[in-house]
Amino acid sequence: MSNLLTKKPAADEHAPYYAKYIDAVPPGNVVETLSGQIEETLATLRGASEEASLKRYAEGKWSLREVVGHMADTERIFAYRALRFARADATPLAGFEQNSYIPAARFDARDWRKLIEEFGAVRKSSVLLFDGLDAEAWERRGVASGNPVSVRALAWMIAGHEVHHMKIVREKYLE
C-alpha cells in the first residue's frame, strides 16, 4: 500500500484545478505529510496576535481568521468526500461555494485561539480517517462537484491546500 500513499495521484483522479495543490505537496507518504504539517502550521498561526489575525493584505481579501476558517471548512468537506467514497458510497456529491461560506461563518467574530485549535482538531480527525483506510478504500473513486476524484487524490488535495494557503499566510499576512 505504500505506493498508494507516496505516489502522487494521476491526472484522471482529480479535476485539473486541483493539480496545483497536489503538485505543491513534497514527495513522501501523504498521511505522514498531513500529520507533519500541522505542528508547523499551528506554531505559525499561534505567532499571530489577535489584532494581526484580523489583517487583510488588500481590499476585498480575506482576513487571516477567514483564511484559517476556510482551510478548516475545506478540509472538512474534502475529508467528508473521502469518507463517503472510501466507504463505497457512489452518490455524486455537490460542490460548495467557498466565497459564500466566509460571510456566513463570521470568522472575524470568533476567538482567534479557538479557531486555531479547531483547525488542529480538524486535521487530527483527517489524519485518523486516512490512517485507518485499507488499500481498497484508498483506490475508490466518486464524483464531487461534477468531477471524478479518488480518495487518494483528496488526501493529497488537503495537504496541498494547506501548503498553498500557508505560503500566502507567510508572504502576505505575517511579513
| DSSP-H helix ranges across the chain | 2-6, 19-24, 30-46, 64-86, 98-105, 112-131, 135-139, 151-168
- 25, containing H or E segment: none
Q: What is the pLDDT of residues 108-147, one digit of tens each?
A: 999 999 999 999 999 999 999 999 999 999 999 999 999 9
**How far from 19 is each of 43, 147, 158, 173, CA to CA, in Å?**
27, 13, 12, 25
CATH number of 27-55+62-173: 1.20.120.450
61 pLDDT higher than 80: yes
Task: Please say whether the beta carbons of 1 and 136 come within 8 A.
Answer: no
What one-letter code names the amino acid at 136? E
Q: Output the pLDDT for position 14.
A: 98
- Domain extents in the chain: 27-55+62-173
What does pLDDT average to over the chain? 96
Burial grade of 104 (CB within 10 A; 0-12, 13-18, 19 or more): exposed
pLDDT band, residue 1 (cuts 50/70/90)? low
pTM, two decimals, is 0.96
pLDDT band, residue 175 (cuts 50/70/90)? confident
Q: What is the pLDDT of residues 19-38, one digit of tens each?
A: 999 999 999 999 999 999 99
What gap in Å lies between CA 38 and CA 4, rounded to an integer? 22
